[in-house]
Amino acid sequence: MRILVSWLRDFVDVPVAPADLATALTQCGFELAALEPVAAPEGAPADAVLDLEITANRPDCLSVIGIAREVAARYDLPLRAPAATPRAADEGRPLPLSVAVEAPDLCPRYAAAMADVRVGASPAWMVDRLAAAGVRSINNVVDVTNYVLVELGHPLHAFDFDRLGGGALRIRRARPGERVTTLDGQDRALGDEMLVIADAQRAQAVAGVMGGGDSEVSASTRVMALESAYFLPSSIRRTSKRLALSTEASYRFERGADPEAPVRAMARALALIERIGAGTARPGWIDVAPAPRARTVIDLRAGRIAHVLGHEVAADEIERILRGLGFDVTRLPAHAAAAPAWRVAVPTWRGDVTREVDLIEEVARHHGYHRLPATFPALAVAPAAPDARLERDRLARRVASALGFSECITFTFIERGAAQPFAEAADIVPIANPLSEKLAVLRPSLLPGVVDSVGHNRRRERRDVQLFENGARFTGATGETRGLALAWTGAGAADHWTGSGRPVDFFDMKGVVETICAAFGLAPTFEPGAQRWLVPGRAATVAVCGEGGVAIHIGSLGQLVPAMADARGLPPQDEIYVAEIDLDALAPVARLGDDLRVSPLPRHPGVVRDVSLLVDQALPAAALRATIQASAPATLVGVREFARYAGTGVPEGQVSLSFRLTFRAPDRTLTDEEAQRATDGIVAALGAAHGARLR
């Protein structure tokens, strides 16, 4: 909102320089975008353009009078409203204009007047004020409507009366297939939910958004019909979005104009028309649905103000602030010992004030935030325990970061083609009104966004990329679930001058998943997977043991299909390994540190035995490890695979797997004979279960 300080002085005697005024407004909660000095006439007070950022809940401040009201309340000064009263109707000469509101649900109030005009240039002072506000001068009649828009914050529209078919204005919904050419020269198709201003034959304007070119005021206009209305905010916003057309009028209407302003704004415009010699207003006006709306009434308690602000504000100060902002304040009778209370009637231009706390905010703004103590209120009850989902998300992020992955945050909306590999077509959730085809559906998996982020990094010459994302996925079958997705490409081990570096492989990502599951107190098992987005033979499903020994599927991991990587713009030579874990699925069995167990450090040395076994090359090492743990005595404290070999000396179709077994007793040092007996028993069990034999 750009306004001249000298324009403010029409309504309030600003007692300070523009820079000090800007500071005072920021102390009242306004954000100052810029303060631009302007040359003032000799002997006049310093002038400047204030550029204020107005929040969406304060449409009343999208006007000079709105800011002047704030200044008047800040400095306890009287506010001078512009004087303009509509003329009384001339019963002998009624207006030749007829008005019919056919959609009162979308247009609760519509006022109109007429004037005989002489279209020409506007006076310099009006042109200068409009220019300072960022409005281009067109002609004196249109400039007056724009001047009132900036001054009072209420949009108006002027029609060339002689171009209105039948001398009528009909406020109705658009008809199927109806079109209108707007003032910007664009031919626009209208929807039947849109409100239009029509004459007896056709639409002449898109209500609350933009007028039509067929009835615009031009140099040939001799009689003007002036519109001033209140439109339903949601209707104007919907129309503006559907037409991709945002104007100064729609910007105000969709935020909530003052329902009592139409006649005031119309009267001000007619007064200005006559003041600048642009024409003469005809007696009378039309006001459809003129019954005033009931004002919102709120009870305000001084004790509640003190409780919310943590600071006592004097009763006289509370009344001064609220009256200065246009509220009607009546003090309620109270007992001598009771804190004061008031009944406050909210002005119609303050649609954002609906509760007692909103009034308290007004008091705080003008009393001064800097005067409020910087203390936290005392807690009367213990805070609620944090949601378990937050704890799981926090742990997942911490572990993934510790493993060298960087967090990325991607859009929840993705393109349909990216979602299709991860869900059945019927389970993909579409967006009703997508901004583009790139944002057409809700993501059924976190992997599309993470893989796109990998591609973004690779295109910027980042060779080694490790990314994760923790967020929500959506499908029609499961609804919303929380997940953790990881992607890794490039080096699996750091390069070194000895040549020890290597690329990432399946087992690197498998180790990452094992570490994350271990952080939740879980031991995962892996089975060959057949997911559409993973390379066969390099894919696995992940499960954990649930209640009663039932396996719970929690995710999958493996190498991303090269065709999918290529479709996301990744180099064809890249091998990308991905994993996705369902954090909601593991929730019933996850342990978040509330059942930690501590064991003392061992007092006796362990005995280590290495065994190399010949087994079928398709046999998972996890199956061997499970047999070892099931058949071993209690003294077995560690099992680890440390070598895999296939080649010379190993029969075709078999592989040599080497395990390191660690034995230890808590109360003594084991003998070699005890360790050997335990090892022989394990080898025998492996031979019986899997056909394994010592190499």
The pLDDT tens digits for 650-674 are 999 999 999 999 999 999 999 999 9
**Token digits for 427?**
């389970």
Task: Give me the pLDDT at residue 549, please.
Answer: 79
Partner residues linked to 288 by β-bridges = 110
**Token digits for 60?**
């009343």
Identify whether the C-beta of residue 433 lies closer than 8 Å to the C-beta of residue 244. Answer: no
Task: Give me the pLDDT at residue 615, please.
Answer: 93
Residue ranges of the chain that CATH labels 3.30.930.10: 388-582
Res 272 pLDDT > 70? yes
Q: Around Cβ 49, how many Cβ atoms within 10 Å?
A: 20
**376-382 contacts: CB < 8 A, separation 24 or more?**
377/307, 377/310
Choose the weakest-confidence range: 287-291, 448-452, 563-567, 680-684. 287-291
Task: Give me the pLDDT at residue 237, please.
Answer: 95
Tell me: the pLDDT tens digits for 498-557? 777 789 999 999 999 999 999 998 989 999 998 999 999 999 999 998 888 788 999 999
Question: Could you tell me whether strands 109-117 and 286-288 are parallel, antiparallel, or unpaired per DSSP bridges?
Answer: antiparallel
Query: 619: closest CA among 661, 647, 655, 659?
Result: 655
Residue ranges of the chain that CATH labels 3.30.70.380: 607-694
Res 128 pLDDT > 70? yes
**Token digits for 69?**
């009201």
Res 82 pLDDT > 90? no
CA–CA dist 112, 89 (Å, integer): 12
Burial 409-429 (b: 16+ CB within 10 A, else e): ebeebbbeebbebbbeeeebb
Domain 388-582 CATH class label: alpha beta
Choose the weakest-confidence range: 3-17, 82-96, 218-232, 416-430. 82-96
Partner residues linked to 116 by β-bridges = 223, 280
Identify whether the C-beta of residue 482 lies closer than 8 Å to the C-beta of residue 393. Answer: yes
Q: 631 to each of 609, 619, 628, 634, 688, how far by Cα in Å?
A: 16, 18, 5, 10, 11
| Nearby residues of 427 by Cβ (< 8 Å), 6 or more positions away | 444, 475, 476, 477
Task: Give me the pLDDT at residue 71, please.
Answer: 95
Res 592 pLDDT > 80? no
What percentage of the chain has pLDDT greater than the value 70?
Answer: 97
CA–CA dist 555, 579 (Å, integer): 7
pLDDT band of 338, cuts 50, 70, 90: confident
Q: 399 to each of 506, 514, 634, how far by Cα in Å?
A: 19, 11, 31
Task: Give me the pLDDT at residue 496, please.
Answer: 73
Res 352 pLDDT > 90? yes
CA–CA dist 484, 581 (Å, integer): 5
Res 89 pLDDT > 60? no
pLDDT band of 86, cuts 50, 70, 90: low
Task: Give me the pLDDT at residue 39, please.
Answer: 87
Identify whether the C-beta of residue 560 lies closer than 8 Å to the C-beta of residue 451. Answer: yes
Partner residues linked to 342 by β-bridges = 300, 331
Domain spanning 607-694 has what CATH number? Answer: 3.30.70.380
**What is the average pLDDT across 342-362?**
95
Task: Give me the pLDDT at residue 137, please.
Answer: 95
Biggest CA–CA distance in the chain, Å, is: 126
Q: What is the mean pLDDT of the chain?
A: 91
Res 90 pLDDT > 70? no
Task: Give me the pLDDT at residue 336, please.
Answer: 57
Query: 575: closest CA among 591, 593, 562?
Result: 562
**What is the average pLDDT across 270-289?**
92
Q: 211 to each of 157, 158, 181, 247, how far by Cα in Å?
A: 7, 8, 9, 11
The secondary structure of residue 292, as a DSSP letter, is: P
CA–CA dist 224, 206 (Å, integer): 18
CA–CA dist 538, 467 (Å, integer): 20
Tell me: the pLDDT tens digits for 33-58? 999 998 888 888 889 999 999 999 99
Choose the weakest-confidence range: 146-150, 371-375, 657-661, 680-684. 371-375
The fold of the 297-370 domain, in CATH, is Phenylalanyl-tRNA Synthetase; Chain B, domain 1 (3.30.56)
Tokens 């706390």: give the residue: 357
Choose the weakest-confidence range: 270-279, 328-337, 356-365. 328-337
Domain spanning 2-75 has what CATH number? Answer: 3.30.56.10
Partner residues linked to 230 by β-bridges = 109
Task: Give me the pLDDT at residue 636, please.
Answer: 94
CA–CA dist 222, 137 (Å, integer): 19
The pTM of this model reads 0.64
What percentage of the chain has pLDDT greater than the value 90?
Answer: 75
CA 250 and chain centroid, separation: 22
Residue ranges of the chain that CATH labels 3.30.56.10: 2-75, 297-370
CA–CA dist 595, 593 (Å, integer): 6
Tell me: the pLDDT tens digits for 437-494? 889 999 999 999 999 999 999 999 898 999 999 999 999 999 999 999 999 999 888 7
The fold of the 98-288 domain, in CATH, is Phenylalanyl-tRNA Synthetase; Chain B, domain 3 (3.50.40)
Query: 421: closest CA among 398, 445, 389, 438?
Result: 445
Task: Give me the pLDDT at residue 44, please.
Answer: 84
